[in-house]
Amino acid sequence: MSGGVDSSVVAGLMKREGANIVGMTMQLWNQRRLPELAGGESSGRCCSIDDVYDARYVAELVGIPYYVVNFEDAFEKSVVKPFVDDYLHGRTPIPCTLCNNFIKFDTFIEMAEGVGADKIATGHYARITRHAETARWELRRAVDASKDQTYFLFGLTQTQLARTLFPLGGMVKTEVRELAKSLELPVADKGDSQEICFVPNGDYKAFIEAYCREQNIPLDNMGGDIITSDGQVLGEHTGYHSYTVGQRRGLGVATGEPLYVISTEPETRRVVVGRETDLQTAAFTARDVNWISIPAIHAPRRAQVRIRNRHVPADATLSPVGDDTRVAVRFDQPQRAVTPGQGAVFYDGDLVLGGGWID
């Protein structure tokens, strides 16, 4: 229970259905750390005192036992460190997926089992079904396409799906808010959470720098040249970790035409820029692929592939490469800003076939 409307409604619904439930909030990050980051303990950041207050109040109203569980160590190890590390290695990470893989559907499921719960229910917008013949658990997109969170759930395994309930997957957000009102939950009008929960105001550059200072990770020598793909030096930057593939603004170089970040190269500390057309990519390889609704493919298969959360899945062909943890993806039409470190999720309509990390 995050203290937001979605998980609060889940608690209310489950209780109304007569389930024997326990409410839990995960304490993931100590907001007293990195005090130089602006924002303080305001709501809308993860684990803020206000949100815990709301979650606790909702649990009281719903009438269920409630606990805050401390996963700060696991969260730092499995989400925050890799997040910073990815940026320092020129990749653009998705911490929400890591959090789902290693915290919400791993550490948290283990905690739930530990206290005697058979299943966890969360406020994610996604659906879980089961194949009638094979009995394989399937993941499907949420009915509310604008809220669908399957992009961040591609790491879910059969064991995890078997233990998980997504009661909101079949609803649209307005229905959820209506339900919150009818359940008389005081969070019905609370805003949606935004951005990366542990990064205040979405300023990931400031977060990385503050975290590295705290951990004594040297951040000098991050600066280098801004160059074009044919090697022409256009200017200098002070840290490649503050550039993201596809970024246009804030490059600090003036040319006649709009320039975009094409890639960042940690070894040479170069940021490569180019025209928008240079951002188009037709093929890539996904690593650490997890197959969800189907077994690993051993022949090419058509799919729609999503390479960012807000990306409209594009028609592509998936091809096996002789290693079930990798798959070659070739789009019918080149796609903009295929970014190493981001997830690639394979769909067949609303069915999530699987996904992996863009290599």
Partner 1 sequence: MERYYFDHNATTPIAPAVIDAILPALRDGFGNASSIHQPGQQAKQALECARRQTAAFLNCSPKEIVFTSGGTEADNLAILGVPSGHIVTTNVEHPAILAACRDLDVTYIAADADGVVHPQGLRDAIRPSTVLVSIMHVNNELGTIQDIEALAFIARQAGALFHSDGVQAAGKIRLPLRSVDLYSISGHKLNAPKGVGALFVRKGVELRPRQFGGRHESGRRAGTENVAGAVALGAACDLRRDNRTIGALTDRLEKGILKRVPQTTLNGANAPRVPNTTNIRFAGIEGEAMVIALDLRGFAVSSGAACSSGAVEPSHVLTAIGLTRDEAKASIRFSLGLGNTIEQVDGLIEAVVASAAHLRRLSPVYV
Residue numbers annotated as active site: 99, 197
The residue among 52 and 143 lying less far from partner 1, judged by its C-beta, is 52
Of 160, 158, 159, residue with least CA distance to 295:
158
Instruction: Give the 3-state secondary structure of residue 306.
Output: strand
Cα distance between residue 359 and residue 355, in whole Å: 12
Cα distance between residue 177 and residue 196, in whole Å: 23
Segment interacting with partner 1 (CB under 8 A) among 20-28, 131-139, 141-149, 303-311: 20-28
The residue among 56 and 301 lying less far from partner 1, judged by its C-beta, is 56
Structure tokens at 223: 């600066």
Segment interacting with partner 1 (CB under 8 A) among 47-55, 77-85, 148-156, 247-255: 47-55
Question: Using CB under 8 A, which of 73, 230, 257, 267 touches partner 1?
Answer: 73
Q: Shortest gap between Cβ of 306 and partner 1 (angstroms)? A: 32
Cβ-based neighbours of 233, under 8 Å, separated by 6 or more: 225, 226, 227
- Whether the CB-CB separation of 187 and 180 falls below 8 Å is answered with yes
Tell me which residues in 105-164 interact with partner 1 (CB under 8 A): 110-111, 113-116
The C-alpha torsion from 249 through 198 and 186 to 68, rounded to 10°, is: 170
Q: Shortest gap between Cβ of 151 and partner 1 (angstroms)? A: 28
At position 357, the amino acid (one-letter code) is W
Sign of CA dihedral 31, 36, 41, 47: negative
Q: Shortest gap between Cβ of 289 and partner 1 (angstroms)? A: 23
Residue 68 sits in the site that holds partner 1 (CB under 8 A) = yes
Residue 65 sits in the site that holds partner 1 (CB under 8 A) = yes
Q: Shortest gap between Cβ of 26 and partner 1 (angstroms)? A: 8
Q: Shortest gap between Cβ of 341 and partner 1 (angstroms)? A: 27
Segment interacting with partner 1 (CB under 8 A) among 46-54, 177-185, 193-201, 251-259: 46-54
Partnered with residue 92 across adjacent β-strands are none
Instruction: Give the 3-state secondary structure of residue 23.
Output: strand
Residue 56 sits in the site that holds partner 1 (CB under 8 A) = yes
Residue 342 sits in the site that holds partner 1 (CB under 8 A) = no
Q: Shortest gap between Cβ of 68 and partner 1 (angstroms)? A: 4
Segment interacting with partner 1 (CB under 8 A) among 21-29, 122-130, 197-205, 323-331: 21-29
CA angle, corner 280, sides to 278 and 283, nearest 5?
A: 125
Query: Could you give the count of Cα atoms lying within 13 Å of 267 in the half-sphere of its Cβ?
Result: 0
Cβ-based neighbours of 229, under 8 Å, separated by 6 or more: 262, 272, 274, 278
Residue 359 sits in the site that holds partner 1 (CB under 8 A) = no
The residues binding partner 1 (CB under 8 A) are 22, 25, 27, 30, 47, 49, 52, 56, 65, 67-70, 72-73, 110-111, 113-116
